[in-house]
Amino acid sequence: MKKIETDVLIVGAGPVGLFCVFELGQLGLKSCLVDSLNEIGGQCTALYPEKPIYDIPAYTKISAKKLIEKLDSQIKPFKPTFLLDQTVECLMEKKEKFILKTSKNKLVNAKCIIIAAGNGVFGPNKPPLSNIEKFEGKSVFYSIPDKSIFKKKKVAIAGGGNSAADWAIELASTTKIIYFIHRRKNLRAAPNSVKELEKLEKKGKVKMVIPYQIDSLKGTNGLIDELVVRHLTDKTIHIKTDYLLPFFGLSSDLGPIKKWELKIDKNELTINQSTCETSRKGIFAVGDICTYPGKLKLILTGFSEAAIASQSCYKKIFPEKKLHFEYSTTKGINKL
């Protein structure tokens, strides 16, 4: 079996994993990425490709799909190897090198590993409704691949976090009405998003259905006729809606990574913030999968950690070489 030789194996091809390729490439290091999905982008591609992101520098707003396209374009000069639709099942260490075997029997030799696996192997948390599978993919969606289907339709959005609020704001301009359902008066979304929802409610574009939670779905052939929501006092409201978008977060599992003898705290990998190294020498972690005091779960934070981890990989691979840091404004783009 032919082995793939690389400097750094990156576990996860989401936005932070992709940016690792760029940072490593600038240092002259080769990358190989492994991801369980059959395309790059992680959650940005699989769950919310059209979701607007507002905190990427220089972009007032950019969709998750467009962000992945930009990152893909940025790393093309470095010609990374992609091993998609597979996971790392076996990890061995020999003579200061890691030997990894994937679920598709690919063997990879790497000098360092960067884990950028986000929340691990993930899936959406679904409302506890016995018949919800009948509506999934037709009138119930946990991600939005094409927002145009909601044009001039009645849409119910359930959840109280940023995903629910951001999508309500984004879709309000084209839908007939948005029903925003949450079981508590206080939302977990960003304060500015909450204020925007209040403005849209005054304009009649959003109707806040609070404090209520989803009770049942009624309909035929996968299409919703009626959504029933229940108040904490057991009072119910019957909502005529075309679509239901539940945003209750993700359930995740670290999968085989749990067997790698790494220090784990509540399903997250503990790292040294100054190097992004885990408890095992030569294995680094970046993005949502890692934790340390004061950690902020933002793509921006992950990008910064990608740069730190890449520098740490270089120092481990070339311990005798002094790394002369240069700004990209003077160095330009390195080509491997």
Using CA atoms, how far apart are residues 76 and 233, in angstroms rounded to an integer?
57
**Region 137-151 average pLDDT:** 90
Cis omega (within 30 of 0) for bond into 80:
no
pLDDT at 252 over 70: no
Using CA atoms, how far apart are residues 155 and 228, in angstroms rounded to an integer?
14
pLDDT at residue 330 in the model: 64
Q: How confident is the model at residue 327 (pLDDT cuts 50, 70, 90)?
A: low
pLDDT at residue 223 in the model: 97
Is the model more confident about 324 or about 309?
Answer: 309
pLDDT at residue 37 in the model: 84
pLDDT at 13 over 90: yes
Q: What is the 3-state secondary structure (H, E, C) of 154-207?
A: EEEEECCCHHHHHHHHHHCCCCCEEEEECCCCCCCCCHHHHHHHHHHHHCCCEE
Two structure tokens written together for 305:
């950690």
Question: Do 3 and 308 form a contact (C-beta atoms < 8 A)?
Answer: no
pLDDT at residue 106 in the model: 94
pLDDT at residue 122 in the model: 62
Q: How confident is the model at residue 324 (pLDDT cuts 50, 70, 90)?
A: confident
pLDDT at 224 over 90: yes
Asked which of 41-50, 72-81, 138-147, 275-284 is least confident by mean pLDDT, the reply is: 41-50
pLDDT at residue 116 in the model: 96
Domains in the chain: ranges and CATH: 3-122+250-331 (3.50.50.60), 126-246 (3.50.50.60)
pLDDT at residue 308 in the model: 97
- 3-state percent helix, strand, coil for the chain, nearest multiple of 5: 25, 30, 40
- Helices 299-317 and 15-26: angle between axes, nearest 10 degrees: 40
Two structure tokens written together for 25:
């490439």
Question: Do 188 and 162 form a contact (C-beta atoms < 8 A)?
Answer: yes
pTM for the model stands at 0.70
pLDDT at 191 over 80: yes
Question: Do 246 and 143 form a contact (C-beta atoms < 8 A)?
Answer: no
Model confidence pLDDT, tens digit, residues 102-137: 999 999 999 999 999 887 666 678 899 989 999 999
Tokens 């040294």 belong to 272
Model confidence pLDDT, tens digit, residues 41-78: 988 887 778 888 999 999 999 999 999 999 999 999 99
pLDDT at 80 over 80: yes
